Amino acid sequence: MRRTIQRLLVVAAHGDDETLGAGGTIAKLADEGVTVALCVLTNDDGSRSESGNGVTNRISAIELAAKILGIERIQVNEFGDNRLDTVGHLELNRVVEREVRDFEPDTIFTTSMADLSVDHQLVSRAARVAGRPGKGSVKQIRAYEIRSATDIGEASGLQPGFRPNCWESLDEQHVDRKLEALRAYGKELEEWPNPRSERGVRALAEYRGSQVATGLAEAFEIVRTVHQ
């Protein structure tokens, strides 16, 4: 069956969410001719700096990762990392709604409500609001899983957890490109056995692939899909 995705909008709280969550699938779809856009809500990693208050502009890393994955259009907003809960949800919704209106995606990929990160939960909600029925072009919404956000949500007892019901099988080169894009984010990669290590990311691709008896895969939770 040929896929119906033609215009994909990936919505992320932080630069690297898109790569960790769906980098292999983005590379695969871009290779198939799908036009991919990325909307990132924050542009600093203040909470991760050693002093806890440093701010790093991530745009160049986001652009490099996007180029590796084949993303054609990037919109990075200036909200603060780990501070999306101080932004009114109307404002967050408006940012994603504007991107949906301008880009007219048929499909949205976004973060999961099962993630421990409040930023991820708020962005997931904003993407669902922007892509709600009767509001524009969106026919499908999927949530992606992120190592050290979705699995830590699970390990912290968040309910309901991530329940994949859609798998994208990947070639080695898609996973290689995902890892290459992750390296563009430099210090975001940790050493094994941290889940956010190259080996950890690959282990998840192998696990998700073996669930459906394919070599490698990324798993998604379909929020809604409308067939026409």
The binding site for Zn ion (CB under 5 A) comprises: 13-14, 17
* Shortest separation between residue 12's beta carbon and Zn ion, angstroms: 7
CB closer to Zn ion, 23 vs 209: 23
Residues 6+ apart with CB under 8 A from 44: 55, 56, 57, 58, 80, 81
Farthest CA pair distance, the chain: 52
Which residue, 14 or 128, has its beta carbon nearer to Zn ion? 14
Give the CB-nearest residue to Zn ion: 14
CB 24 to Zn ion: min, Å: 17
CA separation (Å) from 223 to 111, 112, 132, 159?
11, 10, 11, 16
Least distance in Å: CB of 27 to Zn ion?
19
Q: Which residue, 97 or 145, is less far from Zn ion as judged by CB?
A: 145
Comparing CB distances to Zn ion, the nearer of 14 and 147 is 14
Q: Which residue has the tokens 């290779």?
A: 31
Q: How far is the CB of 220 from Zn ion (least distance, A)?
A: 16
Structure tokens at 138: 């969106």
**Rounded CA separation 167/147 (Å):** 16
